[in-house]
Amino acid sequence: MENQGGITVRRALELPGLRAGLPEVLAGADRLNRTVRWVHAGEAPNIAALLKGGELLLTTGLALGTRPAEQRAFVRRLAERGIAALVVELGPRFSRLPATLVETAQSAGLPLVQLHREVPFVSVTEEVHTEIVNGHYALLQQAEEVHRRCTRALLDGGGVPQVLSVLADFARNPVFLETPDGQLLYAAGEGEPLQVWEGLRGHRPAGAVLVEVPGGGSGPGSVRAMLALLPVSAPPEPVHRMAAEQAADILAVVLMQARQEEELAARGRGDFLTDLAEGRITAQDAPAQARVLGFKPGEGPLLPVVMRLAAELSPSGNWAVLARAVLEELGAVGVPVLLGVRPVEGRVPLLLGLRTASERAAVADRVAVALRAGVERAGLERAGLERAGGHPPVVVVGEAGGWAAASAGLRHAAETATAAQGLPDRPWYDARRLDIDLLLWRLRDQPDLAAFVDRAIGPLREHDRTSRPALLPTLESYLAHAGRKAETARELHLNRQTLYNRLARIAELLGTDLEDPQTVLALSLALRARRHTS
């Protein structure tokens, strides 16, 4: 086709330069719609090695050889290289092309043309190249017109759907915008493009045009989306790829602007929740400001929740994606939600409107699942946990109450979420049950705390560095089960006597009585404090 980044062999033969040579097509008459990418003239026997494919090769036949085997090899190498056509000028070398050449070209599917009159190859080259350049310019004009229409759609208030519709109309094929991992964001095209996408899910038909929508920067995360133009009605042409590439640049700007607006809104909600937690917004003023942000909880109590992300899970500037994913997951919880982000602290604070205080635990369960699902959906948890030392998100739920309680609850949950880093993973933590951990975390920089831990369990830590079995896990399990030996033995998969021997060894190393309440309290505190001192 003449609009595919070149001209066809047929069109080249119609131009004055070659037409003056009285061209006769001897082979490949059914292949004259091949695209001529460039013209090359030469007489070297190894000329195929100098070509890239798509060329119209002009020759007087001096390099064809005199023996049939040489002529067959010459034509086959050109066919394998993928040239558009071979044009041989008759003259001193040949008065008519040998049957061997014609038969080989026919079997190889290579258009073969003989010229009955001499023509200046340089004129032919200039003429064809001018036609090719003009064709390229025409393609650029068509693609530029699509670019103008997309831009005009945006200036008229449109967005991603309108840009995709312009491209789909131009290409006469459905167009899709997907996430880098293949999730559908938008679809456009005549008929039922969603059915097309569903039917082709996970399969890219031959000829599909795929263009990356850049996200800014380089490396992981630099591709924000994939623009896919699928050959349903007709094979896409090169001009359609050019138009898709220009549309992708426009979409990158649209998505970046949308993300910036989303992130600003999410940060604004995070600032409000933080100001409420820090007392910069009073309980009296908070409801009106929350309504402006779209939060209308009703008359029931408010439930403060904070999710904290470890450093390796940080979205690194892509907080809008995280906020959107989490909000979509929270939509299934069934209660009013006000969610914000605090990138500096790596926190996601939120308030939920309950109907009654009695549903606190049930809502907390659903919220924790939604928060984890949102983090996973945003691609953060998988990436973070693949790194060494990755920690899952920490979700802390405060006490339900009015606006004054929400203020204190958010502040308490935020601090507790930080203190809970490194605790055994749970769907969510009750802030009320982590006060001791919070107190120990606040004392983390005090030398007295490290000295206390060393006095209480130092001998065990030293033992576990050099000897086996490690005894600290046994002591932790024993204290966690309030000294119930049968439950401790079951959790550690030990028989009773082995457990008794380990407990005796622990008491011997520490020089203390594990039945003494004061000793048990001190050991429990030391085990919890060691996270902040080791």
> Distance between CA atoms of 326 and 324, rounded to whole angstroms?
6
Predicted local confidence at residue 219, as pLDDT: 46
297-332 pLDDT, tens digit each: 989 999 999 999 876 555 555 677 788 888 888 888
Number of Cα atoms under 13 Å in the Cβ half of residue 426 = 15
| Contact between residue 430 and residue 416 where contact means Cβ atoms under 8 Å apart | no
User: Across residues 422-430, what is the average pLDDT?
Assistant: 88
CB 314 within 8 A of CB 416: no
* Interval 1-30 mean pLDDT: 83
CA distance 28 to 258: 53
DSSP letter (8 states) at residue 67: S
pLDDT in tens, 446-464: 888 889 989 999 999 999 8
Q: Could you give the CA distance from residue 292 to residue 313 in angstroms, rounded to a whole number?
A: 31
pLDDT band at 383 (very low <50, low <70, confident <90, very high): very low
Q: Does domain 282-434 have CATH number 3.30.70?
A: yes
The Cα–Cα gap between 276 and 283 comes to 8
pLDDT of residue 150: 83
Q: Tell me the torsion sign for CA atoms 93, 97, 103, 109.
A: positive
User: Which of 125, 124, 78 shows the shortest CA–CA distance to 101?
Assistant: 78
Q: What is the DSSP string of 292-314?
A: HTT----SS-EEEEEEE--GGG-
The set of residues, in sequence order, having a beta carbon less than 8 Å from that of 120 and lying 6+ positions away, is 17
* Residue 385 pLDDT greater than 90, yes or no: no
Token code pair at residue 367 = 């919220």
User: Which secondary structure element, helix H or strand E, spans residue 18, and what is its range?
Assistant: helix 16-19
Reply yes or no: is the peptide bond before residue 469 cis, omega within 30 of 0.
Answer: yes
394 within 8 A of 375, measured Cβ to Cβ: no
pLDDT at residue 136 in the model: 67
Q: Calculate mean pLDDT across residues 74-86.
A: 93
Pick from 527, 432, 431: which is nearest to 477 by CA? 527
Report the pLDDT value the prediction gives residue 213, as an integer from 0 to 100: 86
User: What is the structure's pLDDT at 358?
Assistant: 94
Per the prediction, the chain carries an average pLDDT of 85
Specify the range with the lowest mean pLDDT, choosing from 201-205, 325-329, 405-409, 441-445. Answer: 201-205
Average pLDDT over residues 81-110: 91
CATH of domain 447-532: 1.10.10.2840
| CA–CA distances in Å: residue 141 to residues 133, 169, 209, 308 | 12, 17, 20, 51
- The predicted structure's pLDDT at residue 386: 41
pLDDT tens sequence across 16-75? 989 999 999 999 999 999 988 889 898 888 898 888 888 999 999 888 888 999 999 999
How many angstroms from the chain centroid is the CA of residue 406? 36
Concatenate the DSSP letters of all residues of 457-506 into one string: HHHHHHHHHHSSS-SHHHHHHHHHTTT-HHHHHHHHT--HHHHHHHHHHH
379 pLDDT exceeds 80? no
Q: CATH assignment of 158-257?
A: 3.30.450
Helices assigned H by DSSP within 54-120: 68-81, 99-108
**Residue 401 per-residue DSSP state:** B
d(CA 313, CA 204): 32
Domain locations along the chain: 7-130, 158-257, 282-434, 447-532
| pTM of the predicted structure, to 2 decimals | 0.52
Residue 34 · residue 9 · CB < 8 Å: yes
3-class DSSP assignment, residue 62: coil
Distance between start and end Cα atoms, the chain? 72
CA dihedral 412→417→423→427, nearest 10 degrees, is 100
What is the DSSP annotation of 340-351? --BTTTTEEEEE
Q: Which amino acid is at 7?
A: I
The average pLDDT across 348-377 equals 92
**C-alpha torsion 44→49→54→59, nearest 10:** 10
What CATH fold (topology level) applies to the domain 7-130?
3.40.1390
Rounded distance between C-alpha atoms, residue 113 and residue 58, angstroms = 10
354: alpha, beta or left? (left if phi > 0; alpha if psi -120 to 50) = beta
**246 and 142 in contact (C-beta within 8 Å)?**
no
